[in-house]
Amino acid sequence: MKFFIITLLSTFTLALNAQYTFTHTQELECTPVKSQARTGTCWSFATSSFIESELIRKGHADLNLSEMFVVRNIYKDKARNYVLRQGKANFSQGSLSHDLMRMMKKGGVIPEDVYSGLLEGEKKHDHSEMEAGLKGFLDGVLKQKRLSKKWPFAFEGILDAYMGSVPDKFMYNGKEHTPQSLASELGLDAGEYVSLTSFTHHPYHETFILEIPDNYSNGSFYNVPLEEMMAIIDDAVNKGYSIAWDGDVSEKGFDARKGIAVLPTDSSREDLFDTPGEEIEVTAQNRQDNFESYATTDDHLMHIVGKAKDQNGTEYYIIKNSWGEISPYKGYLYMSKAYVAMKTVAIMINKEVLSKKIQDNISE
């Protein structure tokens, strides 16, 4: 059944510790919070949640997509990239929203109840040992003078051992499907979505390859001024479009268990997560300085599903996380507008919300 965030969150317009008081100004439909557990697969959870909201917005019955089906396919894609680049590439659990879109276009989608990526009896994902085994295998392969065509099958065998095999066909709504046919029936089109960012080391209103480690596939991002990026986020949410968010969560003002993310002028104050306070004024320059000094890094992906204000009128975005139902807000958090302005690395949105000029520039 569809999950309306108002059913879980509206009660939290009451004060937390008699201090923070949030009033929702925009709420978007989304599916229930999940947990990525001991994996670095937030990119798949956040983007799958985003796609699930897109399906709801378009009038489809809510669908619980398998995050691990895409994760598994990305492991295979990364392995080939790693081997072809002779080990001089990133092989890890992390990726970005556009990687899910690429793999959705190529490999389709599967419901969670068809493929969970968990073996029988398992309750939580844990890719620590699997990642070590996969990379160790690839590094061993790379020591060979000549490679055979066998290694991809052996690699897939490791995935099968840890994640289970994927069925070729399955039933959905009384009809037999393949992953590709289900994506087609749902009208999922990767071309509808674009990645945006805002940095000064590349020209505005042009695309560039964002220089972060998880961009192993060299995906392009359309660069806009900071004020324009924030306006696009607001416009999208106001029009009923959710957003896949990629950014930094290492700040002292970020606490997922408290359900708060703020950018305080004084991060050492004791009442940081109890009382709203003054925040840093974000500019294109201090945002760029943070990125180039590694104060802002590509830490985590989440899903923007609404807007709110605190009792002082400060604006926040309602964020759906993938760390389970932690925090007083059952896995959601309130991220201030200042935090989003400073700590956003990139966003993915439906290009329908963009101006025709930007759409034309991206398609050139």
Instruction: Return the amino acid letter for 71.
Output: V
What is each CA distance from 64 to 53, 93, 169, 216, in whole angstroms? 10, 22, 17, 27
Rg (CA), the chain: 21
Q: Work out the burial of residue 333: count CB atoms within 10 Å of its CB; fewer than 13 is exposed, 13-18 middle, 19 or more buried.
A: buried
Phi, psi values for residue 5, rounded to 5°: -65, -25
Question: Could you tell me which residues come within 8 angstroms of residue 120 by beta carbon, excluding any fewer than 6 positions away?
Answer: none
What token pair was written down for 98? 């556009």
Residue 184: HSE in the Cβ half-sphere, 13 Å Cα cutoff? 7
- Note the pLDDT of residue 177: 98
d(C-alpha 219, C-alpha 98), whole Å: 7
146-149 contacts at long range (C-beta below 8 A, 24 or more positions apart): 147/83
Residue 144: HSE in the Cβ half-sphere, 13 Å Cα cutoff? 11
Cβ–Cβ under 8 Å, residues 58 and 187:
yes
pLDDT by 10s per residue, the chain, length 364 = 444 454 444 444 444 444 899 999 999 999 999 999 999 999 999 999 999 999 999 999 889 999 999 999 999 999 999 999 999 999 999 999 999 999 999 999 999 999 999 999 999 999 999 999 999 999 999 999 999 999 999 999 999 999 999 999 999 999 999 999 999 999 999 999 999 999 999 999 999 999 999 999 999 999 999 999 999 999 999 999 999 999 999 999 999 999 999 999 999 999 999 999 999 999 999 999 999 999 999 999 999 999 999 999 999 999 999 999 998 999 999 999 999 999 999 999 999 999 888 888 888 7
Secondary structure (3-state) at 194: strand
In terms of Cα–Cα distance, which of 12, 22, 68 is closest to 45? 68
DSSP-assigned beta bridge partners for residue 194: 349
- Note the pLDDT of residue 12: 46
d(C-alpha 7, C-alpha 97), whole Å: 28
- Note the pLDDT of residue 11: 43
Structural domain boundaries of the chain? 5-363
| DSSP state, residue 111 | B
Phi, psi values for residue 288, rounded to 5°: -65, -40
Per CATH, the homologous superfamily of domain 5-363 is Cysteine proteinases (3.90.70.10)
- Note the pLDDT of residue 144: 94
| DSSP state, residue 187 | T
Q: Work out the burial of residue 202: count CB atoms within 10 Å of its CB; fewer than 13 is exposed, 13-18 middle, 19 or more buried.
A: middle
Question: Could you tell me which residues come within 8 angstroms of residue 191 by beta carbon, excluding any fewer than 6 positions away?
Answer: none
d(C-alpha 360, C-alpha 206), whole Å: 11
Residue 267: HSE in the Cβ half-sphere, 13 Å Cα cutoff? 11
* pTM for this model (two decimals): 0.94
The DSSP string of 327-363 is TTTTTEEEEEHHHHHHHEEEEEEEGGGS-HHHHHHHH
